[in-house]
Amino acid sequence: MVRPFRQQIDESILDRAATLFAQRGFAKTSVQDIADAVGLSKAGLLHHFPSKDALHDAVRAQAAALGQRVLDQVDDLPPGPARDRRAIEVLVDVAVAHPGLVALLLTPVLRGGTDAGAPELDAASAAALQAFGVDPEAAASERTVRVVGALAALAVLTLAAHHSDQTTAWRPHVVATCFDALGHRGPGTSSSRPHQVEA
C-alpha cells in the first residue's frame, strides 16, 4: 500500500506531467521537463516513475480510475436531475483536484487528435458520458450535445478557476452553469429553456 505522503507526491507528479503532455505532446515532453515542473532532479523523478513511458501509462491509468470513481458515485441514482447534479458536482471536484488531467482530456478536442485513441483516456471520456446516462456508442441526440457542452464548460471553467486561484469561489457557479447546460432549471433561473429571440 502506498503511504499517503508518497501518494500525494505521485499524484502531483502525474498532474504536472499530464499538463505538459497536453501542452507539448508526449514526444516533445522530456523527463527533465517534468522533473523541472515538479521541482525534482531527473533522478528523483525516476525514483517515482522509472521512465517517461511508465509516467505516461500512470497518467492514463489515473484518468481511467477517476472516470470509474465518478461512475461509482452516481450509479445508485436513476437518470434525471438528481443524478445530473451529483455527476456535475463530482466531476467539478475531480477537475479542480486534477487540472492537468482535465487539460489532457481536452487535448483531442482542442488539437484535433493529439493523444486520441489512448484506451484509458477514451475510457475516462466514456465514463463521463455514462455518468449522465449517455451511451458513448449511440447516435448523437440533443441530450448528447447538452452533455458534451456541459462537460466542455465544466473543463474550461474549472481550468480557468484553477488558473485564477478561485476554485472555491467559482465552484457553485460552475455547477449551476453546467446544470443549466443540461437543460435543467437551476436556482435563480426563470426557465430551463434557452432564451428565444423574437422575430
Question: For residue 103, is it within any domain?
Answer: yes
In a domain, 44, yes or no: yes
Per the structure, the complete domain to which residue 53 belongs is given by 4-181
CA distances from 1 to 5, 33, 66, 98 (A): 12, 29, 18, 22
Q: Is residue 196 part of a domain?
A: no
d(CA 50, CA 61): 16
Q: Residue 54 has what pLDDT?
A: 94
Which residues of the chain register pLDDT less than 50? Answer: 1, 112-117, 188-199
Residue 66: CATH number of its domain: 1.10.357.10
Residue 194: per-residue pLDDT: 42
Report the pLDDT value the prediction gives residue 121, as an integer from 0 to 100.
Answer: 58
- pLDDT of res. 92: 94
Does the residue 191 lie in any domain? no
pTM above 0.95, yes or no: no
H-assigned helices in the chain: 4-24, 31-38, 42-48, 52-74, 81-97, 99-111, 119-131, 142-163, 167-181
146 found inside a domain: yes
Per the structure, the count of domains in the chain is: 1
d(CA 50, CA 28): 18
The C-alpha cell that represents 98 in the structure block: 486534477
Q: What is the C-alpha to C-alpha distance for residues 102 and 119, in angstroms, rounded to an integer?
A: 16
- Whether 198 is in a domain gets the answer no
Determine, yes or no, domain membership for 156: yes
Confirm whether 195 is domain-assigned: no
Output the pLDDT for position 96.
Answer: 92
